Amino acid sequence: MTTVYVTRLAAPIGPLLLTADADGALTSVSVPGQEGGRVVQDGWRQDPGPFRAAGEQLAAYFAGELKEFQLPLRADGTDFRQRVWAALDEVPYGATATYGEIAARIGASRPAVRAVGGAIGANPLLIVRPCHRVIGANGTMTGYAGGLERKVWLLTLEGALAGR
């Protein structure tokens, strides 16, 4: 049985549920009501220790003082999802990208945009892996597993909605 550490952190967008593996790599960041979000399981170890760096960096991010997370991450997913998630990591703070742009970055065909959207929606590391920075081709705020109001809040924090 693999060890899963869990903790909760207060945040301006609501409480965050964080999980980490036995090596201390962050495996998920979820919010209440999140589509596909993590739910605490029997046997998980409640321990804030593995989350000190994540807590400090998230606090600095929410204070507008941190633009790039430097945390060990581990998310299980297919090769396709891993490529999409790596492309998300390349979208800089304060910027946005469209689903089509993410598809192009990984060399996926135009028909694969829907699959790219599915992979983005399955991102287990909200905020830290910036899926909130992906918008519709026409600039609309499209789906976000954490809720559109949180997506708008995060993009406003980052200054990505200025001039819209």
The 10s digit of each residue's pLDDT in 7-53 is 999 999 999 999 999 999 999 999 988 888 888 899 999 999 999 99
User: Across the chain, what does the average pLDDT equal?
Assistant: 93
pLDDT for 92:
96
Helix (H) or strand (E) holding 81: helix 79-89
- pTM for this model (two decimals): 0.92
Angle CA 138–123–162, to nearest 5: 40
Burial of 33 (0-12, 13-18, 19+ CB in 10 A): exposed
Rounded to whole angstroms, the Cα distance separating 164 from 145 reads 22
Helix (H) or strand (E) holding 83: helix 79-89
pLDDT per residue as tens digits for the range 89-118: 999 999 999 999 999 999 998 888 999 999
Closest among 1, 2, 3, 14 to 50, alpha carbons compared: 3
Residue pair 64/87 in contact (Cβ under 8 Å)? The answer is: no
Q: What is the mean pLDDT of residues 150-154?
A: 95
131 is catalytic: yes
- What number of other Cβ atoms are within 10 A of residue 19's Cβ? 22
pLDDT for 132:
96
* Residue tagged active-site, from 13, 58, 84, 131: 131
pLDDT for 152:
95
Helix (H) or strand (E) holding 98: strand 97-98
Helix (H) or strand (E) holding 100: helix 99-105
Burial of 68 (0-12, 13-18, 19+ CB in 10 A): exposed
Q: What is the mean pLDDT of residues 120-125?
A: 94
**Which residues contact residue 156 at a Cβ distance below 8 angstroms, ignoring those fewer than 6 apart?**
none
pLDDT for 34:
87
Q: What percent of the chain has pLDDT over 70?
A: 98
